[in-house]
Structures are given as C-alpha cells and as structure tokens.
Amino acid sequence: MKTAALLLVSVLGWAEDYYPKPDKKGGWRLAKPAAVGLDEAKLDAAFEYTKTTSQHGGLLVVRQGKLVYEKYFGRGAREALPELASCGKAFTSVALGMAMQDKPELFSKGLDEKAYVPKFLPEAAFPLDDPRKAEITLGQVLSMSAGLRGTNPVYVKGQRQEWADPTIDNGPWSTTDEFALKQSLWCAPGDCYSYSTASSHIPAIVVRKVMGMEMEDYMRKRLTGPLGFGTWSYAMYRPKLKSGIDAEGRMLHTPGGGSIAVRATDVLRFGYLMLKEGKWGAKQILPKEFVKMCGRSVSYNPHYTHSFNFNVNDDEHVKGAPKDAYWKGGAGGYAIYVVPSLDLVIYKMGGTEAQYDPALTRLPVRYTYDGSRDGWKAMPGVGAGTEKTLELVVASLNGTR
C-alpha cells in the first residue's frame, strides 16, 4: 500500500510535502516541463512575449514543487538583485500576517482591529488629522479600501471612477512615515478602493511598533531566514538617516510600499510559501487563513479584485486563468503569481536599467551582462503584460487542468 501511494505521488505530483533547500545547498529540484504536464514550446512562447514587456527580465515556473522553466534576458539572471518596485507590497502584507501570529494578544479582533491607535502607530500619528481615520481597520489598510488618497482610477462597488481631485504622488515619499501617516482621505473608510502606496506603508509601521524592530530585520528572522533566501535587501532603506528621506530617495524606515530586491529563485520561495498556505517544512510561518484571504476577494474591499496587496481572479476577469489564481505586480514588468489549483508558481522577472543599478540597490553584481538589451525600446500598446503572461503559462498545460 505504501509503495502504491509513493507511486501516485511520483506520477501525479500531489500529496508531497516538499520544500526547496537554499540555493547554496542545492536549491530547487529540477525537471523538464513535460514531466509535470507543461508544453515547453508554449512556455518558450510565453518567454518571448515577456521580452516585449520589459527591458530586462526572465520567466521562471515551478510546478508540483519542481523548477521546470528558468530563462532570462538582458540583465535578468538568477544572481541579479533588481529592485522589484510594488512587488514589495506583498512582502509587507505577509510581515503583518506573521506579526499577528506572533503577538495575538494585540490582535484579538484580527483584521477588524482599528489601525490608527497608539498600540499600532507612533506618537507622530496623533492627534489624527481627520477624525474618520479612527474608523480605519487593518483589513481596509491592507486591501487599500481605507480611503487613503492614491492614484486614479478608484472603484466604488465595482464601478470605475475618475476623481476630479488631482492624483497624489505614489512615489518614494509615499513610503515614509511622515507622508503615510498624514495622507488625506479620498473617501470615507471602506467606501472606495484606490491604489495607495501610502496605505501599504501603514502595515510596515504597525509591524515595527508591535515587534520592536524594523520590518526588514523582522522579515530576516521570520521569513527570509527560514525560507533560505540568499542575499536580499531594500533598495530604498537606509537606517542611519535622522529623518524621512535623503537626497538619493532612501528612507529611515523599511518602505512598506515596495523597493525590495530579491534573487529570482528566492522570489519563487515566497510564492511557494503562499502556495503551501503559509507552511514551510514543519513551521507555520504565516497563518493559513490569512494566506487564503490573500488569494480571494475580501469583505474589507467589496469594490475591486484586490485582497491584501494581491490581485485576485475569483470574478474570472482573466479568462485564461483559474478562479483561484492571484498575483502581485510591480513597475518595470514584474509579477509574482500563485495558482493553487494547478500547483503552480510563476515569476515574471522584469526591470528597467535603473532597477538593476547597484547604485540604487547597494547590492553586489555577481554576473556579467552582455549588453544585448541596451537599445531596447518599449513597443506601443504592449504594457506590463501581467495578465497575458499568466494566461500564456496556464495555456502551456497539456490538458491537465
């Protein structure tokens, strides 16, 4: 009976509790795409498409716990450490989820806890500049329905709107305490969705307050260490600053709105943690229910398909992907995808020249770039290709959906 069960695991690829070793100790187990039901020619077509969406990058696919596809272009490489822009927001969400698990006494109401209270935010947040902020919950902050001013368009009960008010900058200043804590409201808490980088920095402040350390330090201890990450950091973070932000755009505190720099196969580890519902080996790194909420529409945001800093597909707006697919994209053409029903994790690596510049990341460059993308120009109308890349990879399954 045991032999038969092992055979089923080997053939079908399910029921196996596998977790990859750190790259320096062997890394991911490898397989050909066909071994897990993927058409390599179709994956190659997906890869060629990604090359039209960003100057540098790559495409990596893990199915059934096996790294089956890994190709790069330009400055993209396994050892590259580019700045991943808003993909960092997903890491911020996970950090808050871990803090809720570590300090349950502070989160007795879970994500219904009010966010703008002294136990979560520093003195600089008080008195509140808008009394309505007292009603904002952690769940609303994570799902960007807190009402904090962000970019157009906004969504109200699924309806897209363009607000007459000018869009407030979502750039580096949005991920400083000074900016995020004083960001104005565009609507009452819970009444609309607006993509607000300032909103995604609030959880980083909460993590720092309740754990008594910078979010980056906390993540090294609880997330990237246990998962076996190699070198990584936050490009925009400089802890020795005296305040806010310096002339180079670096910040005193870990920026919750993005700027993380991570190796490609370690991005896959992050996605695989989500696929495994927060478990890594014998450890429950992240609450299982929190992970499930990341992958579906949540009650905190009834306006748009955005959960806790992930886009979700339970309304099937991405026609060529399963309903349970979810992902986080970032400027420069990056995207991290998780598709539980297909046992699939995908990383669409992207990036501009500036995002790979060690002057920005302050991280070592351990590979050689061949100059092949120096003259690359974006094609009109192509865009980041986030959803199409997902559809192309899913389409590579040989009838095994």
pLDDT of residue 153: 84
pLDDT of residue 310: 98
Q: For 235-271, what is each residue's pLDDT tens digit?
A: 876 665 555 556 555 667 899 999 999 999 999 999 9
Q: For 103-157, what is each residue's pLDDT tens digit?
A: 999 999 999 999 999 999 999 999 999 999 999 999 999 999 999 988 878 899 8
Q: Which of 57-61, 77-81, 162-166 has the lowest mean pLDDT?
A: 162-166
pLDDT over 70 at 172, yes or no: no
**Position 6, amino acid:** L
Report which of 213, 156, 195 is spatially closest to residue 309, judged by C-alpha positions: 195
C-alpha–C-alpha distance, residues 327 and 321, integer Å: 11
pLDDT over 50 at 27, yes or no: yes
Q: Does domain 83-262 have CATH number 3.40.50.300?
A: no
209 CB-side CA count, 13 A: 19
More confident residue, 324 or 254: 324
pLDDT of residue 322: 97
pLDDT over 70 at 4, yes or no: no
CA triple 254-84-155, angle to 5 deg: 85
Across-strand partners of 61?
69, 346
Q: Give 5's pLDDT tier (boundaries 50, 70, 90).
A: very low
pLDDT of residue 329: 97
C-alpha–C-alpha distance, residues 352 and 68, integer Å: 26
pLDDT over 90 at 307, yes or no: yes
pLDDT of residue 8: 45
| Residues written for the chain | 401
Report which of 168, 117, 156 is spatially closest to residue 138, judged by C-alpha positions: 117
pLDDT over 60 at 234, yes or no: yes
Q: For 271-294, what is each residue's pLDDT tens digit?
A: 999 999 999 999 999 999 999 999
pLDDT over 80 at 81, yes or no: yes
C-alpha–C-alpha distance, residues 243 and 251, integer Å: 8
Write down the mean pLDDT value for the chain: 91
Cβ within 8 Å of residue 14, ≥6 positions away = 8, 64, 343
Q: Supply the pTM of this predicted model.
A: 0.92
CA triple 114-97-258, angle to 5 deg: 95
Evaluate whether 174 touches 258 at the Cβ level (below 8 Å). no
Percent of the chain predicted with pLDDT > 70: 89
C-alpha–C-alpha distance, residues 379 and 224, integer Å: 36
Domain ranges of the chain: 21-82+313-401, 83-262
pLDDT of residue 6: 45
Which helix (DSSP H) or strand (DSSP E) does residue 292 occupy?
helix 288-294
pLDDT of residue 54: 97
Across-strand partners of 193?
155
